[in-house]
């Protein structure tokens, strides 16, 4: 945990040297009405989590949901992501237990970073969000903050030294995620579309 607070300023410096990073709408985080909350960014590059972590900057270490592949990029990034709170979820036998633990931690005031699309966008078009985010939000009864990452390059992809904007949107209130069951497909479809619409506006 202490290592996280040492690494975070170092990551802030390194990534501000390698990129022109700007955070927008961070005041929206002050509008969160639940103890814990979920950050829900779109997903373009493998290092998207770093830009969210260094632009949020303040507060307790987040829980970061990550695919197994994220820990296979290189040893340094794997180490950094684990120090930053990353948990390998998909492709593991412990997936259900990790989700239950995450729900409890969000209820106790921690925050979760999860990329709802589940994989990276390939042509600049948002992918349909997976259901996991909405199931966790419903179970934990926490607000969800839509976040959009912009890489300002001709093709919208991450390039070294490019301008990066991380835009935080208005919190989506916890009440809208309440479901009768995990198979409340009508509510899931509505919330998925609401998130897509929120990204589009950021």
> Going residue by residue through the chain (202 aa), what tens digit of pLDDT does each one get?
677 788 888 889 999 999 999 999 999 999 999 999 999 999 999 899 899 999 997 777 889 887 766 667 777 777 777 777 777 776 556 778 888 999 999 999 999 999 999 999 988 899 999 999 999 999 999 999 999 999 999 999 999 999 999 999 999 999 999 987 777 889 999 999 999 999 999 9
Which residue, 138, 141, 86, 85, is CA-closest to 108? 141
Question: Do 47 and 122 meet the contact criterion of CB atoms below 8 Å apart?
Answer: no
Whole-number pLDDT of residue 21:
97
Q: Strand 111-113: give its sheet, edge to edge.
A: 20-24, 163-168, 143-152, 37-41, 111-113, 63-66, 86-88
Number of structural domains the chain divides into = 1
Tokens of 75: 């040893």
Q: Report strand pairing: 111-113 vs 20-24.
A: unpaired
Q: Answer yes or no: pTM beyond 0.95.
A: no
Task: List the CATH number of the domain containing 116.
Answer: 3.40.1130.10
Place of tokens 């303040």: 58
The 3-state DSSP composition of the chain as helix, strand, coil percent (nearest 5) reads: 45, 20, 40
Range of the domain at 99: 2-201
First and final C-alpha spacing in the chain: 32
Whole-number pLDDT of residue 106:
95
For CA atoms 123, 126, 128, 129, give the dihedral sign.
positive
Question: Do 159 and 151 meet the contact criterion of CB atoms below 8 Å apart?
Answer: yes
**What's CA 130's distance to the chain center, in Å?**
13
What burial class does residue 97 get, using C-beta atoms within 10 Å of its C-beta: 0-12 exposed, 13-18 middle, 19+ buried?
A: exposed
């Amino acid at each position: 945990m202490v290592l996280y607070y040492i690494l975070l300023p170092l990551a802030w410096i390194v990534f501000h040297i390698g990129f022109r990073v700007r955070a927008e709408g961070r005041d929206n985080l002050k509008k969160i009405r639940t103890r814990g909350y979920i950050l829900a960014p779109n997903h373009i590059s493998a290092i998207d989590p770093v830009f969210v972590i260094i632009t949020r900057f303040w507060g307790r270490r987040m829980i970061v949901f990550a695919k197994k592949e994220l820990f296979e990029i290189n040893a340094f990034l794997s180490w950094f992501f684990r120090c930053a709170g990353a948990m390998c979820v998909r492709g593991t036998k412990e997936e259900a237990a990790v989700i239950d633990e995450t729900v409890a931690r969000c209820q106790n005031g921690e925050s979760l970073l999860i990329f709802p699309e589940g994989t990276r966008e390939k042509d600049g078009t948002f992918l349909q969000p997976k259901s996991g985010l909405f199931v966790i939000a419903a179970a934990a009864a926490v607000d969800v903050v839509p976040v959009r990452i912009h890489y300002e390059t001709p093709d919208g992809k991450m390039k070294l030294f490019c301008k990066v904007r991380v835009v935080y949107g208005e919190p989506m209130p916890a009440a809208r995620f309440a479901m009768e069951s995990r198979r409340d497909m009508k509510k899931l479809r509505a919330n998925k579309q609401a998130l897509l619409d929120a990204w589009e506006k950021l």
